[in-house]
Chain A
Amino acid sequence: MTPALRFDNLAKTYRERGASKRALNSISFAVEPGEIVGFLGPNGAGKTTAMHVLMDILFPTSGHAEIMGLDSRDPKSRQQVGFLPEIFAFDGFLTGTRFLKLFGSLSGRNQDLVAAHIPELLTFLDMPDAANVRIKNYSKGMTQKIGLAQALIGDPQILILDEPTSGMDPIAKARIKQLFTKLRTEGKTVFLSTHILSDVEDIADRVAIINQGELLAYDRVSSLLAADERGYKIVFTGGDAELWTALSGHTKNTDDRGRTEVTCPDRESKDFALQVILQHGGDIVSLKALGGSLQSQFLRLLHQEGLSDD
C-alpha cells in the first residue's frame, strides 16, 4: 500500500550569513493511511521544517518527501491534504464563512458540499456564532479553531497539523481530541506535531521523536511504552518472618510506619513478589509501574542522545 506520507533520507540545511545549520539530518519514515502519528521533539528540533518540506514551502537539501506517492514538489500531492501552520493567521476582513468558502474553492472541492460542510464544522468546533463574525474579532483560540476548520474543509484524507491546540482552552482541547478519534474512525491520516505528550499517548498509533534534525525513534506508541518500563514498585504492610527470606533477591525499604517498599526490575519479578507477599500474609498498599509513559520515554531518548530538552 502507498504510504500516506513518506520521508526518504530527507535532509535540510539552512544557510544564513555564511553559516550553515542542519535542520534535518537524513530522516526516513513513512506514515501509513488511516494512522494518527504524533511528531514530537523540543522546540527547534526540525518538526516544522519537515512539515514545511511536505507542503513545498521549503525545499529539501537532499532526499525527498512524498504525499500519497507523489513528490511534495508536485502541487497535485496536496489535493487530499489539509494543513494547519504553527502560527495561523489570515486576513481579518473575512468572516468565518467567507474564509472557509475561499479555501474550500481553492481545494477544488464541490462548492455545494463545501457550503453544506461549513455549518457542520463550525458547530463541531463549538463556534457556530462565529460564522458571520470577521476573523479580526476572533480570540486567539477561535483563530486557531478557524485555522483547523480551514484544514478540515472539503474533507481531506490527510491532515498535517502543526501544534493544532496551541492557544485553545481545555474544553476546546478535549473537543479536538474527540475530533481526532472521529477522524480515525473515518480512516483519515493525521500527522500532528504537539508538545502535549499525554494527548499523543492517548490518541496516536505511532510516534516519531526528533531532536536536532535526527530521528530518535519511530514506533508504535505501545512499543515505546513497553520499552520504557523500568520495573515496578510494590508497597505492602504486614507479612510473616519468612517473607523477608522469600524476597531476599529484591531491593526493600521499610519506613517508620511499617510500610515496606519492594522494587522489582521486570514483570516476572513483580508477579513473583506479589504472589510471595500474599502467601505470607502481607497486605498490598500500592503497585506502581516505573516509567512507561510517553513523556518519560521522550525525556529518556533525548537524555540518551546527550541532548537536553527545553
Chain B
Amino acid sequence: MINTIALHKLAKLRHSRMILIYVIGCGCISLFTILPVILMGVVSGNRTVGADTALMYFGFARFFGLVAALMLGATLWRQDEKDGTLLTFMARPLSRIELLLGKSLGCLYALLIYLGAVVAFYLLAHLLFFRFSIPLSFPLYLIQELLFYLVYFAAGAFFSSLLNPLLAATAVLGWAFLALLAKIFLSLSPAWCRVLGKGFRFLSLDSDISYSVQALFTADIPTVMPLFKGITYYLLWSILLFSAAVVLFNKREFAGRRS
C-alpha cells in the first residue's frame, strides 16, 4: 500500500505544471552556465577544468535540489489537504504513518530521479570531454547529496505541520542561513564573534560538513572520511525531523474542502 501511494505521488508530481517549469528552468540555467566552462576547458586542453566544472555543476544541482526537496516537504500533504484529496485517502484502511510514508517515498523517488539525471548528465560530459576516471568514493558522495536533500525535505515536512507551506519553506531557509552567519562570525577575530559563530554552527541545519565534490576528485583516500561524517550528520537530522513531522501529522485534525 505504501508503494501504491508513493507511485501515485510520483505520478502527481509528474503531472504538476509547477514542477515542469521548475525542472526546465533549472536545467536551462545549469546548462547555459556550465557549457562555456566545459568549452573553455576543451579548447585550452586544461584537464583541471573538469574538477572546476564539477564544483560548479554540483553546486547548482545542490541548490536546485535543496529548493525542490524543501518544497516537496513543505507541500507533502498540505497540497492534498488544499485540493481535498487527503480525506479520500484517509478514509481507507491505512494508518496515518503509512499515508505519510507513502507520500514521502514518492518524493524520495522524485529526488532519486533528479539526482540520477544530474549524475547521468555529468558522467556524459566527462566521457565526452574530460575522460578522467571517476573516483570510487563518488557513490558515497551521491549518498551524502541525497541525504542532504532529505534533511531539507524532512525540515519542510516538519515546519509545514506548524506553518503554511510558504512560511515553512522560509523558516527552513532561515534556519539554513544560520550556517552562513556561522561562517561570517567564525571568520572574524574578536573572541565573542567566534563564540557566536560556534553557536550558530551548532544550531544550523546545514553545518559546514558537506564534502566538496572538487576535493573528491583531487584528494587522497583518507580524506573520504568526512563523507561518512556528512552522511551520518544528515541521516540523523533527517530521521529526527521526519519523526517529528510524523508525530505532528498523527495528532492533526483535518478539515474537508470548502465549496
Q: Do they bind each other?
A: yes
A-side interface residues toward B, CB under 8 Å? 48, 52, 55-59, 75-79, 81-83, 85-91, 93-94, 102-103, 105-108, 147, 150, 160
Contacting pair B258 A87 (CB below 8 A): yes
Q: Identify which of B1, B85, B98 contacts A89 (C-beta below 8 A).
A: B85
Q: Identify which of B84, B85, B93 contacts A75 (C-beta below 8 A).
A: B93
Q: CB-CB < 8 A to B88: which residues of A?
A: 83, 85, 88, 90, 103, 147, 150
Q: CB-CB < 8 A to A87: which residues of B?
A: 84, 256-259
Q: Identify which of A59, A75, A85 contacts B95 (C-beta below 8 A).
A: A75
Asked, given contacts A89-B85, A150-B88, whether A106 binds B1 with beta carbons under 8 Å apart, the answer is: yes
Most A Cβ at <10 Å: residue of B84, B91, B254: B91
Q: CB-CB < 8 A to B4: which residues of A?
A: 102, 105-106
Complex formed: what's the CA distance from A87 to B12 in Å? 20
Complex formed: what's the CA distance from A106 to B95 in Å? 11
Q: CB-CB < 8 A to A75: which residues of B?
A: 93-95, 98
Contacting pair B84 A102 (CB below 8 A): no
Complex formed: what's the CA distance from A55 to B254 in Å? 11
B11 at interface, CB cutoff 8 A: yes
Q: Identify which of A57, A91, A107, A160 contacts B93 (C-beta below 8 A).
A: A107
Q: Identify which of B85, B253, B256 contacts A90 (C-beta below 8 A).
A: B85
Contacting pair B91 A55 (CB below 8 A): yes
The 9 closest A-B pairs by CB, nearest first: A83-B91, A89-B84, A93-B15, A106-B92, A79-B93, A78-B93, A87-B257, A85-B87, A75-B95
Q: CB-CB < 8 A to A81: which residues of B?
A: 91, 93
Complex formed: what's the CA distance from A57 to B252 in Å? 8
Beta-carbon nearest neighbor of B253 in chain A: A58
Complex formed: what's the CA distance from A253 to B257 in Å? 54
Contacting pair A105 B1 (CB below 8 A): yes
Contacting pair A59 B85 (CB below 8 A): no
Interface residues of B in 211-259 (CB under 8 A from A): 253-254, 256-259
Contacting pair B253 A59 (CB below 8 A): yes
Contacting pair B259 A103 (CB below 8 A): no
B121 at interface, CB cutoff 8 A: no
Complex formed: what's the CA distance from A89 to B85 in Å? 6
Complex formed: what's the CA distance from A57 to B253 in Å? 6
The smallest beta-carbon distance between A221 and chain B, in angstroms, is 27
Contacting pair A78 B92 (CB below 8 A): yes
Q: CB-CB < 8 A to A88: which residues of B?
A: 84, 88
Beta-carbon nearest neighbor of B92 in chain A: A106
Contacting pair A55 B90 (CB below 8 A): yes
Q: CB-CB < 8 A to B84: which residues of A?
A: 85, 87-90
B83 at interface, CB cutoff 8 A: yes
- What 0/1 readout, one digit per residue, does chain B (62-94) give for beta carbons within 8 Å of chain A? 000000000000000000000111011111111
Q: CB-CB < 8 A to A58: which residues of B?
A: 253-254
Most B Cβ at <10 Å: residue of A48, A75, A78: A75
How many residue pairs link A and B with beta carbons under 8 A? The number is: 84
Q: CB-CB < 8 A to B92: which residues of A?
A: 78, 103, 106-107
Interface residues of B in 168-192 (CB under 8 A from A): none
Complex formed: what's the CA distance from A108 to B87 in Å? 18
Complex formed: what's the CA distance from A117 to B143 in Å? 44
The smallest beta-carbon distance between B187 and chain A, in angstroms, is 46
Complex formed: what's the CA distance from A115 to B87 in Å? 23
Q: CB-CB < 8 A to A57: which residues of B?
A: 87, 90-91, 253-254, 256
B131 at interface, CB cutoff 8 A: no
The smallest beta-carbon distance between A68 and chain B, in angstroms, is 12
B110 at interface, CB cutoff 8 A: no
Q: Identify which of B5, B85, B253, B259 contacts A106 (C-beta below 8 A).
A: B5
B8 at interface, CB cutoff 8 A: yes
The smallest beta-carbon distance between A22 and chain B, in angstroms, is 15
- 15 extra interface residue pairs, beta carbon distance < 8 Å, beyond A75-B94, A78-B93: A57-B91, A58-B253, A83-B87, A85-B91, A88-B88, A89-B83, A89-B257, A90-B88, A91-B8, A91-B83, A94-B11, A103-B92, A106-B5, A106-B94, A108-B1
Beta-carbon nearest neighbor of B80 in chain A: A91
Complex formed: what's the CA distance from A48 to B254 in Å? 12
Q: CB-CB < 8 A to B256: which residues of A?
A: 48, 52, 57, 85-87
Beta-carbon nearest neighbor of B84 in chain A: A89
Complex formed: what's the CA distance from A90 to B87 in Å? 10
Beta-carbon nearest neighbor of B12 in chain A: A91
Complex formed: what's the CA distance from A86 to B15 in Å? 26
Most B Cβ at <10 Å: residue of A48, A105, A150: A105
The smallest beta-carbon distance between B16 and chain A, in angstroms, is 9
Q: CB-CB < 8 A to A90: which residues of B?
A: 84-85, 88
User: Can you give 27 A-B contacts (C-beta < 8 A)?
Assistant: A52-B256, A56-B96, A57-B90, A58-B253, A75-B93, A76-B93, A79-B93, A83-B87, A85-B84, A85-B256, A87-B84, A87-B256, A87-B257, A88-B88, A89-B83, A89-B257, A90-B84, A91-B15, A91-B85, A93-B12, A103-B92, A105-B1, A106-B1, A106-B4, A106-B5, A108-B93, A147-B88
